[in-house]
Structure 1
Amino acid sequence: MDVLIHLFVGLHIIGIAALLGGFLTQMKAMGRGTARFVPGMLHGALTMLVTGVALVGLNQAQGAHINTIKIGIKLALLIVILGLVYVKRDEERIDKAQFGLVGALTATNVFIAVLWT
């Protein structure tokens, strides 16, 4: 079971990397006002959602304590991220504030995961 949990943690990190990496590659374009949500950002967010739900289930099945408040906040942030990226994915230009919000929420999600113990 531990191997499976570690596998899903790795996949979860890959999802974070895709979402945050997509954001970082568009930072220069954001400054010019031509940033857009790349497909990797949507796929990364979806990967985070699926693997996060799987991790909660696997940890509960193993009898580990789950901090439901932390997971709930992370899920709420991810749903906002997913909503923004999904709705605006076909637009050629994204408003700087909306694009920056996705980056800020993604970074916040990472810091919650790492610092909230």
Structure 2
Amino acid sequence: MDVLIDVFVGLHIIGIASLLGGFLTQMKAMGAGNARMVPAMLHGALTMLVTGLVLVGVHESQDDHVNNVKIGVKLAILVVILVLVYVKRDEEKVSKGVFGAVGLLTVANIFIATLWH
């Protein structure tokens, strides 16, 4: 079961890398007011959602301790990210505020995952 968990953790990291990488590739465009939500951002966020749910399910099925408050906060942040990216995915230009919020929330989710024990 540990191998399964490790595979899904790896996929979860790939999802966050896709979301953050998509944001970072648009930073220069954000400065010019031309940023857009790229497909990698949506796909990364969806990957995070699916793999995160699987990881929680696997841990719960093994009676491992799961910090439900932490998972709830991370899920709430991810849902906000998903809504923003999904709603704005077809727009040619996204406002700096909305685009910046996606980046800030993504980084917040990373630090919650790594620093909250």
The bucket for the TM-score relative to the shorter chain is over 0.9
Q: Normalising to structure 1: TM-score of the pair? A: 0.99
Q: Normalising to structure 2: TM-score of the pair? A: 0.99
User: Percent of pairs identical after alignment?
Assistant: 71
Unpaired stretches in structure 2, ≥5 consecutive residues: none
In structure 2, the partner of 1:114 is: 114
User: What is the distance in 1 between the residues matched to 2:96 and 2:6?
Assistant: 36
1:109 alignment partner AA: N
In structure 1, the partner of 2:72 is: 72
Unpaired stretches in structure 1, ≥5 consecutive residues: none
In structure 2, the partner of 1:37 is: 37
| Pair 1:55-2:55 in alignment | yes
Q: Which runs of 4+ in 1 moved over 6 A?
A: none
2:85 alignment partner AA: V
In structure 2, the partner of 1:85 is: 85
- Describe the SS at the equivalent of 1:104: helix
| Pair 1:96-2:69 in alignment | no
Deviation at 1:63, TM superposition (A): 1.2
CA RMSD of aligned residues (A): 0.3
Deviation at 1:69, TM superposition (A): 0.2
Deviation at 1:99, TM superposition (A): 0.1
In structure 2, the partner of 1:28 is: 28
In structure 1, the partner of 2:10 is: 10
Q: Deviations over 1:71-111 (max 9, x none)?
A: 00000000000000000000000000000000000000000
